[in-house]
Amino acid sequence: MKITLLSIAILLLLSLSTIAQRGVNFISGGNLRTVFDLAKVQNKAVFLEAYAPTCHVCIAFKPTFENQQVGDIYNKNYISYKLDMTSPEAAGFLQKQNIWIPSTPTLLFFDKDVKLMHIAIMGENTNSPEALISSAMIALNPQKRATGYKAIYQSGNRTANFLIDYGYMARILKDTVMNITVLKTYAKSIPTTQYTSNVNFAVLQKAIMDDENPLFVYMINHLAEFNAKFDRNLVKQTAENIIMYSLYSSRGSKFSSAKIAQIKANLAKLGVTQKAIGVRVFREEATALFREGKSAEAIKILESIIDAKTDKASYAYLSNFVKSRTSDKAALAKASVWAAKGR
């Protein structure tokens, strides 16, 4: 970014306009470009509070950000900006940075060159000056911040809390491979007697994305234990989410028909109806069957989701789906019939 003398002057005026505020000086004018330009001018890092205007937890953090000790730390080291998660600016920036925000408020720390340093997910139990100061200081420490987790893991750190943090962070940064690897390591490092603990149920809810993780495998096979300890609907939702993360991931398109059958059985354990299961898995199941040379079975799967409500667009989709996955003559003949209904 080219910074002219005029833009520097404007940026400095924007910065000075916040000095009278108590606590963290959030830039109130300009946009993200303004913020990072100013960070370069002042040789500071950037702090973004990812928030939502209607988020009650975010609103509750306002007095904490106004704490003078918090302000002293943030104002010394960061240019601060409130990133409205409902805005196109936030959506575009986070997509470019490949960051998923699971909840608000979330604290994002970048260097002046827009390179991520650290992410901290906040909640009601972390609404304190100490928690905000701790996050800001961790972000400044290359040995502790989130972007250093991979090196820490490779150095041999296998402590339980670190593995949970890294697994969760890998999910936020959309690094599915590391999320799966790290959380499998974590699950194998603890005894199964701890699998139903509050901590591990939180790990299942927030971090695990793989239905082959030992924690999930235990959960789906011991639902009664989890239902006795936690809200039954929350248990169902947590298990369903993990199953669907796996099915709809890039690796899901490579699942065998046997694996898809296991997924269907697990959904059934959760009380999902057979009709609903069929609608959820038909693409992946038919893809697996076509790949395995079982075209007749694949066509049966596709026929099972057709009913009186199937419209022309759906018939056209099914026809194109078959044509893109097999050269089997019988299957292609069926695709032609569906194509005609789709016209």
Among residues 74, 126, 133, the alpha carbon closest in space to that of 105 is found at 126
Query: pLDDT of 274-300, one tens digit each?
Result: 999 999 999 999 999 999 999 999 999
Asked if residue 179 belongs to a domain, the reply is no
DSSP 8-state code for residue 23: S
Asked if residue 301 belongs to a domain, the reply is no
117 phi and psi angles, rounded to 5 deg: -110, -50
Domain with 129 in it: 1-141
Asked if residue 126 belongs to a domain, the reply is yes
Query: pLDDT of 123-162, one tens digit each?
Result: 989 999 999 999 999 999 999 999 999 999 999 999 999 9
82 phi and psi angles, rounded to 5 deg: -90, 120
Distance CA 183, CA 27 (A): 38
46 phi and psi angles, rounded to 5 deg: -120, 135
pLDDT value of residue 273: 96
Asked if residue 265 belongs to a domain, the reply is no
- Cα–Cα distances (Å) from 244 to 170, 253, 263, in that order, read 18, 12, 9
Structural domain count of the chain: 1
What pTM value is reported for the model?
A: 0.84
Asked if residue 100 belongs to a domain, the reply is yes
- Cβ atoms of residues 272 and 256 within 8 Å: no
Asked if residue 162 belongs to a domain, the reply is no
Asked if residue 129 belongs to a domain, the reply is yes
Residue 50's CATH number: 3.40.30.10
Asked if residue 7 belongs to a domain, the reply is yes
